[in-house]
Amino acid sequence: MDRMRESVFAALGDLSGKSFLDIFSGSGIIAIEAASRGAQYIEVVEADPRKRAILLENVKISPVRINCHFMSAELFIRRATPKRVKRHFDLIFCDPPFTYKHKWELLKSIAESDLFYSGTILLLHHPREDSCSKTPENLTLTDSREFGRSIVNFYEFYALGN
């Protein structure tokens, strides 16, 4: 995980002033890394109640406030409507458990939400055996990096009709 995190953030570069969403946040280490690299507005989503205490403890060390949502990723994304979304994100990191069976449906629901704008980068961490050739039409796969038995896909959102 450390090698993956270092490589991903090296590829992203300076995050100064950027907004960052971490879906399936776990301990919050990815969000804290984003904060340490300059992200200014950060939200995390985690549904597992066993991870709540450690996540809340970890975000205390962040140099910027990290807003925590304790709900399922699906519910958070479903609620991402124009009336509810306070801001769009520059970067969205999605790291569902490897046993999660609905990664590609989740990708589609994010692509249909109001969490992004044209140019937002979405990163999806998944097991190598979970490959999918179908990408939502407003996403372009721009990079894919392998880390042992896992892959991080980099997608960029673009406005349809442009």
Express each pLDDT in 110-138 by its tens digit: 988 889 888 999 999 998 887 766 788 88
Q: Whole-angstrom distance between the N-terminal and C-terminal Cα of the chain?
A: 37
Would residue 94 count as lying in a domain?
yes
Report the pLDDT averaged over residues 50-61. Answer: 96
Would residue 136 count as lying in a domain?
yes
- Contact assessment for residue 116 and residue 157, using Cβ atoms and an 8 Å cutoff: yes
Report the pLDDT averaged over residues 47-64. Answer: 96
Nearest 10 degrees: Cα torsion 98, 119, 29, 133: 10
Q: How would residue 162 be classed by pLDDT, with cut points 50, 70 and 90?
A: very low
Report the pLDDT averaged over residues 38-43. Answer: 96
Would residue 81 count as lying in a domain?
yes
Would residue 126 count as lying in a domain?
yes
d(CA 155, CA 153): 6
d(CA 13, CA 147): 19
> What is the extent of the structural domain holding 85?
2-157
Read off the CATH number of the domain in which 99 is found: 3.40.50.150
Would residue 162 count as lying in a domain?
no
Domain count, the chain: 1
- Contact assessment for residue 74 and residue 47, using Cβ atoms and an 8 Å cutoff: no
Q: What predicted TM-score, i.e. pTM, was given to this entire model?
A: 0.92
